[in-house]
Amino acid sequence: MNQRQDPIGVFDSGIGGISALQAMVRLMPRETFIYYGDSLNAPYGTKTPEEVRTCVRAVVNRLLDQQVKALVIACNTATSAAAETLRRELEIPVIGMEPALKPAHEIRHGGKILVLATPLTLRQPKFSALMDRYGEGAVRVPCEGLMELVEREDMDGARGYLEKLFSRFDLRWVDAVVLGCTHYVFLKSMIREMLPDHIAITEGSEGTARQLERVLKAAGLNREEGDGHVIFETSGPAEEIATMERFLSRRL
């Protein structure tokens, strides 16, 4: 059987990972993607690492049953908690995400870097290792509750949340803001409006998509013919599929 034709499994705790899925679909339009939103168990960011790994294992088993040729953890929290374990256990490629601190570090010119992420992501050893390498001037900014506002499409609530959050900082001395959760990428335009022009915004969707493409080509798993498509699945109510389809078409 030709594995090139098999789908790619992508998952997150809800709709946030669709921001990364958008980048993958643009870069690899011939591929078929199965996107699984584990909204029944969301949010991951306030759970313990053990709880997240339990949720992830259930999702991964479901995707493996559908013969996926690669797995993308489109969630910074789940990557931190489970990626290394999955790479040891699985024979297919596993691509994870991490807060885009490195590109923020590369454009920093003496100011602060605000890293917005879930509490669990910011507590994980994986993020601490990232901070050791690229964290000069970086400030951890836990955003408990922000992911849920995106899930509910409460943009007014998100705006109020972010205005209060940014009011805590003197933005004249901030060089970059890192969107360390895939859900936050859907707020990127809103955040851009709130910030002075000199502040860069970084996130990991494009980098994750490029890494997936590199890994597939290196393993001879990239699909070279045909038209791809996206299949949505959820652990929540069936009507969430329509929400996922709407988010896939959103302009970021």
Same domain? For 244 and 213 the reply is yes
Please say whether the beta carbons of 117 and 142 come within 8 A: yes
Examine the pLDDT at 2 and tell me if it is beyond 80. no
Same domain? For 9 and 127 the reply is no
The predicted pLDDT at position 26 comes to 96
State the chain's maximal CA–CA distance in angstroms. Answer: 58
Same domain? For 10 and 58 the reply is yes
pTM: 0.93
Write the CA distances from 94 to 119, 123, 165, 238, integer angstroms: 24, 22, 34, 27
- Domain of 217 in residue numbering reads as 3-97+205-248
Q: How far apart are CA 40 and CA 137, in angstroms?
A: 37
**Across residues 171-182, what is the average pLDDT?**
97
**Residue 1 confidence class, pLDDT cut points 50, 70, 90:** low
Q: How far apart are CA 201 and CA 105, in angstroms?
A: 11
**Across residues 193-220, what is the average pLDDT?**
97
The predicted pLDDT at position 114 comes to 98
3-state secondary structure the chain: CCHHHCCEEEEECCCCCHHHHHHHHHHCCCCCEEEEECHHHCCCCCCCHHHHHHHHHHHHHHHHCCCCCEEEECCHHHHHHHHHHHHHHCCCCEECCCCCHHHHHHHCCCCEEEEEECHHHHHCHHHHHHHHHHCCCEEEEECCCHHHHHHCCCHHHHHHHHHHHHCCCCHHHEEEEEECCHHHHHHHHHHHHHCCCCCEEECCHHHHHHHHHHHHHHCCCCCCCCCCCEEEEECCCCCHHHHHHHHHCCCC
Q: Which two tokens stand for residue 23?
A: 């980048």
Same domain? For 149 and 194 the reply is yes
Find where tokens 């999955």 sit: 86
Same domain? For 137 and 152 the reply is yes
Same domain? For 48 and 133 the reply is no
Question: Could you report the per-residue pLDDT of 54-65, keeping only the tens digit for each?
Answer: 999 999 999 999
Examine the pLDDT at 203 and tell me if it is beyond 80. yes
Question: Could you report the per-residue pLDDT of 208-247, keeping only the tens digit for each?
Answer: 999 999 999 999 999 988 899 999 999 999 999 999 999 9
Question: Could you report the per-residue pLDDT of 4-28, keeping only the tens digit for each?
Answer: 899 999 999 999 999 999 999 999 9
Residues catalogued as catalytic: 75, 181
Question: Could you report the per-residue pLDDT of 84-140, keeping only the tens digit for each?
Answer: 999 999 999 999 999 999 999 999 999 999 999 999 999 999 999 999 999 999 999
**Residue 181 confidence class, pLDDT cut points 50, 70, 90:** very high
Report the number of distinct structural domains present in the chain.
2
Same domain? For 230 and 108 the reply is no
Q: Which two tokens stand for residue 40?
A: 């029944």
The predicted pLDDT at position 44 comes to 94
**Across residues 148-161, what is the average pLDDT?**
96
Please say whether the beta carbons of 209 and 23 come within 8 A: yes
For position 109, which CATH number holds?
3.40.50.1860
The dihedral formed by the CA atoms of 175, 178, 179 and 181, expressed in degrees to the nearest 10: -160
Q: How far apart are CA 177 and CA 174, in angstroms?
A: 8
Same domain? For 14 and 72 the reply is yes
Same domain? For 171 and 237 the reply is no
Same domain? For 41 and 126 the reply is no
Same domain? For 238 and 162 the reply is no
| CB within 8 Å of 174: residues ≥ 6 apart | 111, 112, 113, 114, 195, 199
Find where tokens 């570090």 sit: 105
Same domain? For 105 and 191 the reply is yes
Find where tokens 């999702």 sit: 59
